[in-house]
Amino acid sequence: MTPSKEILEYYDATSNRETRDDLRLAVKLVDDSGVDGSRDDESRVDKSRVAIDCGCGAGSDIAFLRSKGFIVHAFDMEQESIARCQKRFGDDKDVLLSQATFTTFEYPRASLIVADASLYSCPEDELHLAWLRITASLLPGGIFVSSFLGPEDTMASPNNNNEALWSEVWVSTQKQVREMLNGFEIH
């Protein structure tokens, strides 16, 4: 499917955007934490340096994570996103790209899972399964970093036209997010 003009503009505008503070903090927490990154003898991968970028868009977080030494598995449901990232990171064997959704992606074990500005576009009836898959893939001591969309956000307004970008909008209260993160330490 051809992406809308708005999606193309969004990818153009964000491909080299500044890294968000929450992701910088998440990387620092991984560095400071005791993630069990013991090498898997078969794959010879140090999993404390494996990250997943969920809904990777134009790839700016992939670039940041690679600069911090992570092997990055990234997925997005938009073919346009994956095509752009293939062009951008095609020569880098430590960037593994898939066109997939939150529920079809095959999550590897990872110390860091990023879902910035994407999890709230996961269809609500898929959220439970997506969350099960994400939490199962996170190593003990690992970090999940995400943004959520509260009821006061303009995108939550009934007058907002979300059709041009990603039409699904999961609006969550702080209470709901805290319930979802039950068992996690929140930073």
Ligand X SMILES: C[S@@+](CC[C@H](N)C(=O)[O-])C[C@H]1O[C@@H](n2cnc3c(N)ncnc32)[C@H](O)[C@@H]1O
Q: Which residues bind ligand X (CB under 6 A)?
A: 14, 55-57, 60-61, 76-78, 81, 101-102, 116-118, 121-122, 166
d(CA 141, CA 139): 6
Q: What radius of gyration do the chain's Cα atoms show?
A: 16
- Name 145's Cβ contacts closer than 8 Å, sequence gap at least 6: 22, 23, 25, 26, 112, 113, 114, 115, 116
Question: Smallest distance, Å, CB 79 to ligand X?
Answer: 9
- Pick the closer one to ligand X by CB: 31 or 78: 78
Question: Smallest distance, Å, CB 114 to ligand X?
Answer: 7
Contact 184, 144 (CB under 8 A): yes
- Pick the closer one to ligand X by CB: 37 or 55: 55
- Pick the closer one to ligand X by CB: 35 or 116: 116
- Pick the closer one to ligand X by CB: 111 or 121: 121
Question: Smallest distance, Å, CB 162 to ligand X?
Answer: 11
Question: Smallest distance, Å, CB 57 to ligand X?
Answer: 3
Contact 72, 98 (CB under 8 A): no
DSSP output for 137-166: HEEEEEEEEE--B-TTSGGGSTT---TTS-
Question: Smallest distance, Å, CB 41 to ligand X?
Answer: 32
Per DSSP, what are the bridge partners of residue 110?
Answer: 138
> In 19-165, where do the E strands start and end?
39-40, 45-46, 50-54, 71-76, 95-99, 110-115, 138-146
- Pick the closer one to ligand X by CB: 19 or 141: 19
